[in-house]
Structure 1
Protein backbone atom coordinates (compact mmCIF):
# COMPACT_ATOMS: atom_id res chain seq x y z
CA UNK A 1 0.00 0.00 0.00
CA UNK A 2 2.74 2.46 0.93
CA UNK A 3 4.62 1.86 -2.31
CA UNK A 4 1.45 2.43 -4.34
CA UNK A 5 0.85 5.72 -2.58
CA UNK A 6 4.42 6.80 -3.28
CA UNK A 7 4.46 5.64 -6.90
CA UNK A 8 5.00 9.16 -8.25
CA UNK A 9 7.17 11.12 -5.79
CA UNK A 10 7.08 14.35 -7.77
CA UNK A 11 3.28 14.32 -7.99
CA UNK A 12 3.09 13.47 -4.29
CA UNK A 13 5.43 16.35 -3.51
CA UNK A 14 3.42 18.86 -5.53
CA UNK A 15 0.10 17.72 -4.05
CA UNK A 16 1.55 18.06 -0.54
CA UNK A 17 2.83 21.53 -1.36
CA UNK A 18 -0.53 22.59 -2.76
CA UNK A 19 -2.26 21.26 0.35
CA UNK A 20 0.01 23.23 2.67
CA UNK A 21 -0.43 26.52 0.82
CA UNK A 22 -4.15 25.90 0.31
CA UNK A 23 -4.49 25.37 4.05
CA UNK A 24 -2.84 28.70 4.78
CA UNK A 25 -5.29 30.41 2.43
CA UNK A 26 -8.42 29.06 4.18
CA UNK A 27 -10.70 31.52 5.87
CA UNK A 28 -11.03 31.36 9.63
CA UNK A 29 -8.47 30.42 12.23
CA UNK A 30 -5.30 29.28 10.37
CA UNK A 31 -3.97 27.39 13.40
CA UNK A 32 -7.14 25.30 13.74
CA UNK A 33 -7.78 24.02 10.20
CA UNK A 34 -9.51 20.80 11.31
CA UNK A 35 -11.82 19.59 14.02
CA UNK A 36 -10.64 18.01 17.25
CA UNK A 37 -11.20 14.57 15.74
CA UNK A 38 -7.97 12.71 14.99
CA UNK A 39 -8.32 10.09 12.26
CA UNK A 40 -5.73 7.31 12.12
CA UNK A 41 -6.05 5.73 8.66
CA UNK A 42 -4.65 2.37 7.62
CA UNK A 43 -2.10 4.20 5.47
CA UNK A 44 -0.95 6.24 8.48
CA UNK A 45 -0.66 3.07 10.59
CA UNK A 46 1.40 1.47 7.82
CA UNK A 47 3.65 4.54 7.84
CA UNK A 48 4.10 4.29 11.61
CA UNK A 49 5.00 0.62 11.27
CA UNK A 50 7.46 1.41 8.47
CA UNK A 51 9.11 4.10 10.59
CA UNK A 52 9.54 1.64 13.46
CA UNK A 53 11.02 -0.99 11.11
CA UNK A 54 13.51 1.50 9.64
CA UNK A 55 14.70 2.46 13.11
CA UNK A 56 14.77 -1.00 14.69
CA UNK A 57 15.53 -3.18 11.68
CA UNK A 58 12.43 -5.36 12.21
CA UNK A 59 8.64 -5.05 12.19
CA UNK A 60 6.97 -4.03 15.46
CA UNK A 61 5.20 -6.51 17.71
CA UNK A 62 1.53 -5.84 18.52
CA UNK A 63 2.49 -4.25 21.83
CA UNK A 64 5.16 -2.10 20.18
CA UNK A 65 2.70 -1.04 17.49
CA UNK A 66 0.20 0.01 20.16
CA UNK A 67 2.94 2.02 21.86
CA UNK A 68 4.00 3.63 18.57
CA UNK A 69 0.42 4.60 17.75
CA UNK A 70 -0.10 6.10 21.20
CA UNK A 71 3.10 8.09 20.81
CA UNK A 72 1.91 9.37 17.41
CA UNK A 73 -1.45 10.40 18.89
CA UNK A 74 0.32 12.25 21.72
CA UNK A 75 2.50 14.11 19.21
CA UNK A 76 -0.53 14.94 17.07
CA UNK A 77 -2.45 16.36 20.03
CA UNK A 78 0.49 18.52 21.14
CA UNK A 79 1.23 19.54 17.54
CA UNK A 80 -2.34 20.75 16.94
CA UNK A 81 -2.44 22.65 20.20
CA UNK A 82 0.90 24.28 19.37
CA UNK A 83 -0.55 25.40 16.02
CA UNK A 84 -3.63 26.83 17.77
CA UNK A 85 -1.32 28.85 20.03
CA UNK A 86 0.66 30.09 17.02
CA UNK A 87 3.96 28.55 18.08
CA UNK A 88 4.86 27.93 14.42
CA UNK A 89 4.84 31.62 13.49
CA UNK A 90 8.32 33.04 13.02
CA UNK A 91 9.95 29.87 14.33
CA UNK A 92 13.07 29.11 12.28
CA UNK A 93 13.21 25.51 13.52
CA UNK A 94 9.62 24.79 12.46
CA UNK A 95 10.24 26.51 9.13
CA UNK A 96 13.32 24.36 8.51
CA UNK A 97 11.54 21.16 9.49
CA UNK A 98 8.64 21.86 7.13
CA UNK A 99 11.09 22.51 4.30
CA UNK A 100 12.88 19.26 5.16
CA UNK A 101 9.56 17.41 5.14
CA UNK A 102 8.82 18.68 1.63
CA UNK A 103 12.24 17.45 0.52
CA UNK A 104 11.56 14.05 2.07
CA UNK A 105 8.27 13.76 0.20
CA UNK A 106 10.01 14.33 -3.12
CA UNK A 107 12.48 11.50 -2.51
CA UNK A 108 10.12 9.17 -0.66
CA UNK A 109 9.79 6.48 -3.33
CA UNK A 110 13.54 6.15 -3.80
CA UNK A 111 13.98 5.52 -0.06
CA UNK A 112 11.92 2.33 -0.17
CA UNK A 113 12.57 1.27 -3.78
CA UNK A 114 14.38 -1.99 -4.48
CA UNK A 115 16.31 -1.41 -7.73
CA UNK A 116 16.80 -4.38 -10.04
CA UNK A 117 20.20 -5.73 -10.95
CA UNK A 118 19.75 -4.19 -14.41
CA UNK A 119 19.31 -0.71 -12.88
CA UNK A 120 22.38 -1.15 -10.68
CA UNK A 121 24.45 -2.60 -13.53
CA UNK A 122 23.64 0.56 -15.52
CA UNK A 123 24.62 2.74 -12.56
CA UNK A 124 27.87 0.83 -12.27
CA UNK A 125 28.54 1.28 -16.00
CA UNK A 126 27.83 5.02 -15.76
CA UNK A 127 30.13 5.49 -12.73
CA UNK A 128 32.99 3.03 -13.26
CA UNK A 129 35.67 5.14 -11.64
CA UNK A 130 33.81 5.27 -8.33
CA UNK A 131 34.40 1.55 -7.85
CA UNK A 132 37.58 1.00 -9.82
CA UNK A 133 40.46 -0.78 -8.14
CA UNK A 134 44.09 0.03 -8.89
CA UNK A 135 43.54 2.98 -11.24
CA UNK A 136 45.31 6.35 -10.92
CA UNK A 137 44.43 9.93 -11.86
CA UNK A 138 46.42 13.07 -12.56
CA UNK A 139 44.54 16.34 -12.05
CA UNK A 140 44.47 19.91 -10.73
CA UNK A 141 41.76 21.29 -8.50
CA UNK A 142 40.64 24.75 -7.36
CA UNK A 143 38.57 24.95 -4.18
CA UNK A 144 35.58 27.25 -3.53
CA UNK A 145 33.37 27.44 -0.42
CA UNK A 146 30.15 27.71 -2.47
CA UNK A 147 28.85 26.28 -5.73
CA UNK A 148 27.95 29.78 -6.88
CA UNK A 149 31.53 31.00 -6.48
CA UNK A 150 32.83 27.93 -8.31
CA UNK A 151 30.47 28.49 -11.24
CA UNK A 152 31.47 32.14 -11.46
CA UNK A 153 35.14 31.13 -11.71
CA UNK A 154 34.44 28.85 -14.69
CA UNK A 155 34.94 31.88 -16.95
CA UNK A 156 38.56 32.26 -15.81
CA UNK A 157 41.33 30.71 -17.87
CA UNK A 158 43.08 29.44 -14.74
CA UNK A 159 40.83 29.64 -11.67
CA UNK A 160 42.76 30.14 -8.45
CA UNK A 161 40.16 29.26 -5.87
CA UNK A 162 40.73 29.74 -2.15
CA UNK A 163 43.37 28.23 0.16
CA UNK A 164 42.59 24.84 1.63
CA UNK A 165 44.55 21.98 3.14
CA UNK A 166 44.28 19.89 -0.03
CA UNK A 167 46.86 19.52 -2.79
CA UNK A 168 46.39 21.86 -5.74
CA UNK A 169 47.61 19.18 -8.13
CA UNK A 170 48.27 15.46 -7.91
CA UNK A 171 50.07 13.09 -10.24
CA UNK A 172 49.11 9.43 -10.65
CA UNK A 173 47.22 9.29 -7.37
CA UNK A 174 45.42 5.96 -6.83
CA UNK A 175 41.66 6.32 -6.77
CA UNK A 176 41.61 4.66 -3.38
CA UNK A 177 43.79 7.48 -2.08
CA UNK A 178 41.62 10.12 -3.78
CA UNK A 179 38.68 8.80 -1.78
CA UNK A 180 40.68 9.13 1.44
CA UNK A 181 42.13 12.60 0.75
CA UNK A 182 39.21 14.29 -1.06
CA UNK A 183 36.27 12.11 0.01
CA UNK A 184 34.01 9.58 -1.68
CA UNK A 185 31.71 12.21 -3.19
CA UNK A 186 34.62 13.97 -4.90
CA UNK A 187 36.13 10.70 -6.13
CA UNK A 188 32.79 9.53 -7.54
CA UNK A 189 32.20 12.76 -9.46
CA UNK A 190 35.81 12.87 -10.64
CA UNK A 191 35.40 9.38 -12.08
CA UNK A 192 32.60 10.62 -14.35
CA UNK A 193 34.76 13.35 -15.94
CA UNK A 194 36.56 12.92 -19.25
CA UNK A 195 40.26 13.74 -19.32
CA UNK A 196 41.11 16.90 -21.23
CA UNK A 197 42.66 20.39 -21.09
CA UNK A 198 39.54 22.22 -19.86
CA UNK A 199 38.41 22.95 -16.32
CA UNK A 200 35.25 21.07 -15.38
CA UNK A 201 32.74 21.10 -12.58
CA UNK A 202 31.83 22.24 -10.08
CA UNK A 203 32.02 18.94 -8.24
CA UNK A 204 31.26 18.61 -4.56
CA UNK A 205 33.19 17.25 -1.63
CA UNK A 206 32.90 17.31 2.14
CA UNK A 207 34.91 20.55 2.05
CA UNK A 208 32.88 22.52 -0.50
CA UNK A 209 33.10 22.80 -4.28
CA UNK A 210 35.90 22.27 -6.76
CA UNK A 211 36.77 23.00 -10.36
CA UNK A 212 38.90 20.21 -11.79
CA UNK A 213 41.20 19.78 -14.76
CA UNK A 214 41.64 16.06 -15.26
CA UNK A 215 44.83 15.50 -17.22
CA UNK A 216 44.97 11.71 -17.26
CA UNK A 217 43.32 8.56 -16.01
CA UNK A 218 45.24 5.27 -16.00
CA UNK A 219 43.87 1.74 -15.85
CA UNK A 220 41.80 0.38 -13.05
CA UNK A 221 39.05 -2.20 -13.13
CA UNK A 222 35.92 -2.53 -11.07
CA UNK A 223 34.67 -5.58 -9.17
CA UNK A 224 31.46 -7.30 -10.32
CA UNK A 225 28.14 -6.03 -9.00
CA UNK A 226 27.63 -9.11 -6.84
CA UNK A 227 30.65 -8.15 -4.72
CA UNK A 228 29.64 -4.53 -4.09
CA UNK A 229 25.87 -4.56 -4.54
CA UNK A 230 25.05 -2.97 -1.16
CA UNK A 231 27.44 -0.10 -1.80
CA UNK A 232 26.22 0.46 -5.37
CA UNK A 233 22.59 0.40 -4.22
CA UNK A 234 23.32 2.93 -1.46
CA UNK A 235 25.04 5.25 -3.93
CA UNK A 236 22.22 4.86 -6.47
CA UNK A 237 19.62 5.60 -3.79
CA UNK A 238 21.40 8.72 -2.53
CA UNK A 239 21.84 10.11 -6.03
CA UNK A 240 18.26 9.31 -7.04
CA UNK A 241 16.81 10.96 -3.94
CA UNK A 242 18.93 14.08 -4.51
CA UNK A 243 17.93 14.27 -8.18
CA UNK A 244 14.21 13.92 -7.46
CA UNK A 245 14.32 16.49 -4.67
CA UNK A 246 16.09 18.98 -6.92
CA UNK A 247 13.69 18.36 -9.81
CA UNK A 248 10.65 18.83 -7.58
CA UNK A 249 12.12 22.03 -6.10
CA UNK A 250 12.78 23.45 -9.56
CA UNK A 251 9.16 22.84 -10.57
CA UNK A 252 7.91 24.69 -7.48
CA UNK A 253 10.56 27.41 -7.75
CA UNK A 254 9.32 28.42 -11.20
CA UNK A 255 6.01 29.52 -9.67
CA UNK A 256 7.72 32.16 -7.49
CA UNK A 257 9.08 35.61 -8.16
CA UNK A 258 11.91 36.48 -5.77
CA UNK A 259 12.64 40.13 -5.07
CA UNK A 260 15.86 40.88 -3.17
CA UNK A 261 16.20 44.44 -1.86
Structure 2
Protein backbone atom coordinates (compact mmCIF):
# COMPACT_ATOMS: atom_id res chain seq x y z
CA UNK A 1 0.00 0.00 0.00
CA UNK A 2 1.08 3.59 -0.66
CA UNK A 3 0.90 4.63 3.00
CA UNK A 4 3.06 1.71 4.12
CA UNK A 5 5.55 2.44 1.36
CA UNK A 6 5.79 6.08 2.49
CA UNK A 7 6.27 5.06 6.12
CA UNK A 8 9.14 2.76 5.09
CA UNK A 9 10.80 5.41 2.93
CA UNK A 10 14.29 6.15 4.40
CA UNK A 11 14.05 9.81 3.37
CA UNK A 12 11.13 10.26 5.75
CA UNK A 13 13.25 8.91 8.59
CA UNK A 14 16.12 11.23 7.62
CA UNK A 15 13.80 14.24 7.65
CA UNK A 16 12.42 13.23 11.04
CA UNK A 17 15.90 12.72 12.46
CA UNK A 18 17.04 16.08 11.12
CA UNK A 19 13.98 17.82 12.56
CA UNK A 20 14.52 16.29 16.00
CA UNK A 21 18.22 17.18 15.91
CA UNK A 22 17.28 20.78 15.03
CA UNK A 23 14.94 20.98 18.02
CA UNK A 24 17.51 19.39 20.32
CA UNK A 25 20.25 21.75 19.18
CA UNK A 26 18.11 24.84 19.74
CA UNK A 27 17.33 23.65 23.24
CA UNK A 28 20.92 23.06 24.34
CA UNK A 29 23.02 25.21 22.03
CA UNK A 30 25.49 27.38 23.94
CA UNK A 31 25.47 31.12 23.51
CA UNK A 32 21.70 31.54 23.89
CA UNK A 33 20.07 34.12 26.14
CA UNK A 34 19.62 31.47 28.84
CA UNK A 35 23.24 30.29 28.82
CA UNK A 36 23.62 31.19 32.52
CA UNK A 37 20.22 29.91 33.55
CA UNK A 38 20.11 26.33 34.83
CA UNK A 39 16.61 24.85 34.89
CA UNK A 40 15.95 21.61 36.76
CA UNK A 41 12.66 20.11 35.68
CA UNK A 42 10.48 17.61 37.52
CA UNK A 43 11.28 15.06 34.82
CA UNK A 44 15.01 15.44 35.50
CA UNK A 45 14.48 15.06 39.24
CA UNK A 46 12.41 11.92 38.68
CA UNK A 47 15.14 10.55 36.45
CA UNK A 48 17.80 11.22 39.12
CA UNK A 49 15.66 9.51 41.76
CA UNK A 50 15.04 6.54 39.47
CA UNK A 51 18.79 6.09 38.84
CA UNK A 52 19.44 6.29 42.59
CA UNK A 53 16.79 3.65 43.32
CA UNK A 54 18.19 1.34 40.64
CA UNK A 55 21.64 1.57 42.21
CA UNK A 56 20.71 1.44 45.90
CA UNK A 57 17.49 -0.58 45.67
CA UNK A 58 15.54 2.07 47.63
CA UNK A 59 14.22 5.55 46.92
CA UNK A 60 16.36 8.48 48.06
CA UNK A 61 15.42 10.47 51.15
CA UNK A 62 14.51 14.15 50.87
CA UNK A 63 18.06 15.10 51.83
CA UNK A 64 19.58 12.66 49.34
CA UNK A 65 17.29 13.97 46.63
CA UNK A 66 18.48 17.50 47.30
CA UNK A 67 22.09 16.30 47.07
CA UNK A 68 21.33 14.66 43.73
CA UNK A 69 19.85 17.91 42.44
CA UNK A 70 22.82 19.93 43.69
CA UNK A 71 25.24 17.57 41.98
CA UNK A 72 23.24 17.70 38.77
CA UNK A 73 23.37 21.52 38.83
CA UNK A 74 27.15 21.48 39.35
CA UNK A 75 27.52 18.92 36.55
CA UNK A 76 25.58 21.20 34.21
CA UNK A 77 27.57 24.28 35.21
CA UNK A 78 30.91 22.48 34.83
CA UNK A 79 29.77 21.20 31.45
CA UNK A 80 28.87 24.67 30.22
CA UNK A 81 32.09 26.20 31.57
CA UNK A 82 34.14 23.47 29.87
CA UNK A 83 32.41 24.18 26.57
CA UNK A 84 32.96 27.92 26.99
CA UNK A 85 36.68 27.32 27.55
CA UNK A 86 36.85 25.00 24.54
CA UNK A 87 38.13 22.10 26.64
CA UNK A 88 36.22 19.67 24.42
CA UNK A 89 38.13 20.76 21.31
CA UNK A 90 40.57 18.16 20.01
CA UNK A 91 39.64 15.58 22.66
CA UNK A 92 39.30 12.23 20.90
CA UNK A 93 37.46 10.61 23.82
CA UNK A 94 34.82 13.36 23.83
CA UNK A 95 34.61 13.25 20.03
CA UNK A 96 33.96 9.48 20.02
CA UNK A 97 31.46 9.75 22.86
CA UNK A 98 29.49 12.48 21.10
CA UNK A 99 29.46 10.53 17.86
CA UNK A 100 28.24 7.48 19.78
CA UNK A 101 25.44 9.43 21.44
CA UNK A 102 24.38 10.99 18.14
CA UNK A 103 24.44 7.54 16.51
CA UNK A 104 22.19 6.16 19.25
CA UNK A 105 19.85 9.11 18.83
CA UNK A 106 19.66 8.69 15.06
CA UNK A 107 19.16 4.92 15.30
CA UNK A 108 16.36 5.49 17.77
CA UNK A 109 14.58 7.78 15.29
CA UNK A 110 15.03 5.38 12.37
CA UNK A 111 12.13 3.20 13.37
CA UNK A 112 11.61 0.20 11.13
CA UNK A 113 8.25 -0.99 9.92
CA UNK A 114 7.60 -4.68 10.42
CA UNK A 115 8.47 -6.67 7.28
CA UNK A 116 5.75 -8.69 5.60
CA UNK A 117 6.11 -12.43 5.21
CA UNK A 118 7.25 -12.28 1.58
CA UNK A 119 10.05 -9.84 2.45
CA UNK A 120 11.28 -12.20 5.14
CA UNK A 121 11.12 -15.20 2.82
CA UNK A 122 13.06 -13.33 0.13
CA UNK A 123 15.67 -12.18 2.65
CA UNK A 124 16.04 -15.72 3.99
CA UNK A 125 16.54 -17.12 0.49
CA UNK A 126 19.14 -14.48 -0.36
CA UNK A 127 21.12 -15.03 2.87
CA UNK A 128 20.76 -18.74 3.49
CA UNK A 129 24.46 -19.26 4.21
CA UNK A 130 24.20 -16.86 7.14
CA UNK A 131 21.62 -19.14 8.72
CA UNK A 132 23.47 -22.40 8.10
CA UNK A 133 24.65 -24.50 11.00
CA UNK A 134 28.40 -24.99 11.28
CA UNK A 135 29.85 -28.37 10.28
CA UNK A 136 30.68 -30.71 13.15
CA UNK A 137 33.50 -33.22 13.66
CA UNK A 138 33.92 -36.22 15.91
CA UNK A 139 37.44 -37.63 15.96
CA UNK A 140 40.10 -39.47 17.94
CA UNK A 141 43.66 -38.19 18.09
CA UNK A 142 47.06 -39.26 19.35
CA UNK A 143 49.55 -36.47 19.96
CA UNK A 144 53.12 -36.94 18.72
CA UNK A 145 55.65 -34.50 20.14
CA UNK A 146 58.15 -33.28 17.56
CA UNK A 147 60.67 -31.96 20.09
CA UNK A 148 64.23 -33.06 19.25
CA UNK A 149 62.98 -35.38 16.50
CA UNK A 150 63.97 -35.30 12.85
CA UNK A 151 61.34 -35.72 10.16
CA UNK A 152 62.64 -39.24 9.57
CA UNK A 153 62.25 -40.12 13.26
CA UNK A 154 58.74 -38.68 13.30
CA UNK A 155 57.73 -40.70 10.22
CA UNK A 156 59.13 -43.86 11.81
CA UNK A 157 57.22 -43.21 15.01
CA UNK A 158 54.01 -42.66 13.08
CA UNK A 159 54.51 -45.88 11.11
CA UNK A 160 54.95 -47.90 14.31
CA UNK A 161 51.80 -46.42 15.84
CA UNK A 162 49.76 -46.98 12.68
CA UNK A 163 50.85 -50.62 12.53
CA UNK A 164 49.87 -51.20 16.15
CA UNK A 165 46.50 -49.53 15.58
CA UNK A 166 45.93 -51.68 12.49
CA UNK A 167 46.44 -54.78 14.66
CA UNK A 168 44.04 -53.51 17.29
CA UNK A 169 46.69 -52.89 19.91
CA UNK A 170 46.14 -50.32 22.64
CA UNK A 171 48.39 -47.34 22.01
CA UNK A 172 48.74 -43.87 23.41
CA UNK A 173 50.40 -40.70 22.19
CA UNK A 174 52.88 -38.50 23.97
CA UNK A 175 51.76 -36.77 27.18
CA UNK A 176 49.67 -33.62 26.57
CA UNK A 177 46.61 -31.79 27.83
CA UNK A 178 44.66 -32.82 24.73
CA UNK A 179 41.74 -35.20 24.92
CA UNK A 180 41.88 -38.56 23.20
CA UNK A 181 38.42 -38.08 21.65
CA UNK A 182 36.33 -35.08 20.61
CA UNK A 183 32.61 -35.33 19.83
CA UNK A 184 30.66 -33.11 17.41
CA UNK A 185 32.89 -30.04 17.64
CA UNK A 186 32.51 -27.07 15.29
CA UNK A 187 35.47 -25.63 13.32
CA UNK A 188 36.01 -22.62 15.60
CA UNK A 189 36.33 -24.93 18.60
CA UNK A 190 38.72 -27.28 16.83
CA UNK A 191 40.87 -24.47 15.46
CA UNK A 192 40.92 -22.81 18.85
CA UNK A 193 42.65 -25.90 20.29
CA UNK A 194 44.74 -27.23 17.41
CA UNK A 195 45.40 -24.03 15.50
CA UNK A 196 43.95 -22.25 12.49
CA UNK A 197 43.18 -24.54 9.57
CA UNK A 198 43.15 -27.84 11.47
CA UNK A 199 39.40 -28.20 10.86
CA UNK A 200 40.01 -27.95 7.10
CA UNK A 201 42.40 -30.87 7.33
CA UNK A 202 39.81 -32.84 9.29
CA UNK A 203 37.18 -32.15 6.67
CA UNK A 204 39.36 -33.75 4.00
CA UNK A 205 39.88 -37.00 5.93
CA UNK A 206 38.03 -40.22 5.10
CA UNK A 207 35.90 -41.47 7.95
CA UNK A 208 37.36 -44.33 9.99
CA UNK A 209 41.00 -44.19 8.88
CA UNK A 210 44.01 -43.10 10.92
CA UNK A 211 45.88 -40.28 9.19
CA UNK A 212 48.74 -38.03 10.28
CA UNK A 213 48.02 -34.30 10.51
CA UNK A 214 50.12 -31.35 11.61
CA UNK A 215 48.87 -28.67 13.94
CA UNK A 216 50.35 -25.70 15.77
CA UNK A 217 51.10 -28.11 18.62
CA UNK A 218 52.91 -30.82 16.69
CA UNK A 219 51.91 -33.95 14.81
CA UNK A 220 48.80 -36.03 15.41
CA UNK A 221 47.44 -39.35 14.34
CA UNK A 222 43.79 -38.61 13.72
CA UNK A 223 40.78 -40.80 12.96
CA UNK A 224 37.64 -39.00 11.86
CA UNK A 225 34.69 -40.93 13.27
CA UNK A 226 31.81 -38.66 12.18
CA UNK A 227 31.35 -35.59 10.02
CA UNK A 228 28.17 -33.52 9.83
CA UNK A 229 28.32 -30.96 7.01
CA UNK A 230 26.85 -27.49 7.30
CA UNK A 231 23.09 -27.42 6.82
CA UNK A 232 20.51 -24.69 6.37
CA UNK A 233 17.67 -24.90 8.87
CA UNK A 234 14.08 -24.38 7.64
CA UNK A 235 12.66 -20.87 7.64
CA UNK A 236 9.95 -21.82 10.13
CA UNK A 237 12.60 -22.65 12.76
CA UNK A 238 14.52 -19.43 12.15
CA UNK A 239 11.81 -16.84 11.63
CA UNK A 240 12.66 -14.74 14.69
CA UNK A 241 16.37 -14.78 13.77
CA UNK A 242 15.54 -13.81 10.19
CA UNK A 243 13.50 -10.85 11.47
CA UNK A 244 16.42 -9.68 13.63
CA UNK A 245 18.89 -10.08 10.78
CA UNK A 246 16.54 -8.25 8.38
CA UNK A 247 16.16 -5.39 10.86
CA UNK A 248 19.94 -5.14 11.31
CA UNK A 249 20.41 -5.09 7.54
CA UNK A 250 17.76 -2.41 7.06
CA UNK A 251 19.12 -0.31 9.91
CA UNK A 252 22.63 -0.48 8.46
CA UNK A 253 21.37 0.52 5.01
CA UNK A 254 19.39 3.44 6.41
CA UNK A 255 22.34 4.58 8.55
CA UNK A 256 24.61 4.51 5.50
CA UNK A 257 22.11 6.59 3.57
CA UNK A 258 21.81 9.01 6.49
CA UNK A 259 25.63 9.34 6.58
CA UNK A 260 25.62 10.07 2.86
CA UNK A 261 23.04 12.82 3.41
CA UNK A 262 25.18 14.31 6.19
CA UNK A 263 28.26 14.34 3.99
CA UNK A 264 26.38 16.32 1.35
CA UNK A 265 25.91 19.14 3.89
CA UNK A 266 29.64 19.68 4.30
CA UNK A 267 32.47 20.75 2.08
CA UNK A 268 35.29 18.28 2.70
CA UNK A 269 38.94 19.21 2.17
CA UNK A 270 41.31 16.25 2.19
CA UNK A 271 45.13 16.23 2.04
CA UNK A 272 46.51 15.59 -1.42
CA UNK A 273 47.51 12.00 -2.01
CA UNK A 274 51.19 11.40 -1.45
CA UNK A 275 53.16 10.82 -4.60
CA UNK A 276 53.92 7.14 -5.08
CA UNK A 277 57.43 5.99 -5.68
CA UNK A 278 58.21 5.12 -9.26
TM-score range with shorter-chain normalisation?
0.3 to 0.5
Task: Give TM-score scaled by structure 1 length.
Answer: 0.42
For normalisation by structure 2, the TM-score amounts to 0.40
